[in-house]
Amino acid sequence: MTKIAFIGAGNMNGAIISGLVKTGFSAKDIMVSNPSPEKRLALKEQLGILETDNNIAAANFADFIVLGVKPHLITSVCQKISETINISNKCFISVAAGCTVAQMQNALVNPCAIIRTMPNTPSQLGLGVTGLYAAEKVSDQQKQVADALMSSVGIVKWLTTEDEIDQITAISGSGPAYFFLFMEAMEKQALAFGFTEKESRELVQQTALGATQMVANNDIPISELRANVTSKGGTTNAAINSFIDDGLEQIVTNAMNSALHRAKEMAQNNV
């Protein structure tokens, strides 16, 4: 039976563990390691998984080691594990932004199977998007397990080059916050029109939910959905023309390129 160790019991690993158990993976084959007790004990209590404060014990237990600590800790965690136990048959799966396969491989004493992933926050609801990149030593069986792991919290997209991880970061990794910002701006204007905070939130939230659901439920291009609700000379048309005149497309392009640039910078410096 495949055994999985999660290093770090924070938001992202917590979401994946919860997704895995909900999809039927045996809780007794999962061990989480975290220095402070609260989060790992809460996961044990809720899901029945094993827990420890010792990364080595967790890594020793498992075939797959999911690295869910902050990016600047990834290499030291890898180094300590590989200096203490035999890692040659284990597969490391990182969910950390800004830490490359080469940086992880340098920290591991022996050549090892490494999968780099980029999940996003809606994974907490099972609505995530995860980009995955498998380095050369990864077997098909290890890819299948990583696929099942990340599919338990949303959809997965396998990437053919590691560079694409930075692009996925700029699209889906950082993407939820782009939509939050847009919703915040609409909420502010609803308040300015005189609606209460509760009303403004509800109006914007339901509009975003409805629009997203329409995209999800229709196969037609998003541009066509927009055209269908934009009558010539109408109110929506006035708003859309205002967005276009103010250069919305270029604003989005610039923002996503900034995220891409920052992702590359972080990968270079491991920060």
Ligand X SMILES: NC(=O)c1ccc[n+]([C@@H]2O[C@H](COP(=O)([O-])OP(=O)(O)OC[C@H]3O[C@@H](n4cnc5c(N)ncnc54)[C@H](OP(=O)(O)O)[C@@H]3O)[C@@H](O)[C@H]2O)c1
Site residues (CB under 6 A) for ligand X? 7-13, 33-36, 39, 55, 68-71, 73, 77, 95-97, 119-121, 173
CB 67 within 8 A of CB 55: no
What type of residue sits at position 178? Y
Q: How far is C-alpha 242 from the chain's CA centre?
A: 33
Interhelix angle 11-22/140-151, rounded to 10 degrees, is 100
Is-contact 111 86, C-beta < 8 A?
no
Query: Looking at beta carbons only, is 121 or 200 nearer to ligand X?
Result: 121
- C-beta closer to ligand X: residue 5 or 113: 5
CB closer to ligand X, 146 vs 190: 146
Closer CB to ligand X, residue 39 or residue 90? 39
- DSSP element (H, E) containing 105: helix 101-107
Supply angle C-alpha 18, 19, 22, rounded to 5. Answer: 85
Q: Using CB atoms, what's the residue nearest to ligand X?
A: 10
Given phi > 0 = left and psi -120 to 50 = alpha, else beta, which region is 250? Answer: alpha
Q: What are 189's two structure tokens?
A: 């204007």
| CB contact at 8 A, 240 and 150 | no
| Minimum CB distance to ligand X smaller for 120 or for 142 | 120
Residue 194 Cβ vs ligand X, minimum distance, rounded to whole Å: 35
CB of 265 to ligand X, least distance (A): 14
> Which tokens in the block code for residue 202?
């509800």
Asked if 146 contacts 192 with a C-beta cutoff of 8 angstroms, the reply is no
14 vs 200, beta carbon nearer ligand X: 14
Q: What is d(CA 28, CA 25) in angstroms, rounded to the nearest whole number?
A: 9
Cβ 108 to ligand X shortest distance, Å: 16
Q: Which is nearer to ligand X, 69 or 91 (CB)?
A: 69
Least Cβ distance, residue 247 to ligand X (angstroms): 29
To ligand X, the closest distance from the beta carbon of 250 in angstroms equals 27
Cβ closest to ligand X, residue 71 vs residue 154: 71
Mapped onto helix, strand or coil, the DSSP state of residue 55 is: helix
CB of 143 to ligand X, least distance (A): 20
Query: What's the CA gap between 4 and 68, in Å, rounded?
Result: 13
**3 state DSSP class of 132:** strand
- CB of residue 111 to ligand X, shortest distance in Å: 23
Using DSSP's 3-state secondary structure scheme, residue 184 falls into: helix
> Closest separation between CB of residue 145 and ligand X, Å?
19
